[in-house]
Amino acid sequence: MTDSADERDDIAYKRLVWHSRRGMLELDLILEPFVRNAYIGLDATNRALYRDLLDCEDQQLFNWFLRKEAVDDKGLKKIVDIVLAYNTSRGQL
């Protein structure tokens, strides 16, 4: 028995939501609402950037989202800016 593409996509999305829960409250409050409400509207390039972002260390993410450090990588900077803009629009940052 093989999974349908929709089932595989659903499983991949659920994993993405799980990986967006970082265990650091500040990051959870930024990433989890974004992935649940805005990720699906991203194009394929920005979705890939978001998945790359999740490979970063929590402390690095914390510093970027709280604007304590600049993001050196152009792609990661782009997705950090998208996540920040989303959270700003909902009054979270």
pLDDT digits (tens, 9 = 90+) for 54-93: 999 999 999 999 999 999 999 999 999 999 999 999 876 6
CA 34 from chain centre, in angstroms, equals 6
Contact 47, 40 (CB under 8 A): no
pLDDT tens-place string over residues 4-44: 666 568 898 999 999 999 989 999 999 999 999 999 999 99
**pLDDT > 60? residue 1:** no
| Residue among 30, 20, 86 at smallest CA distance from 54 | 20
What's the pTM?
A: 0.86
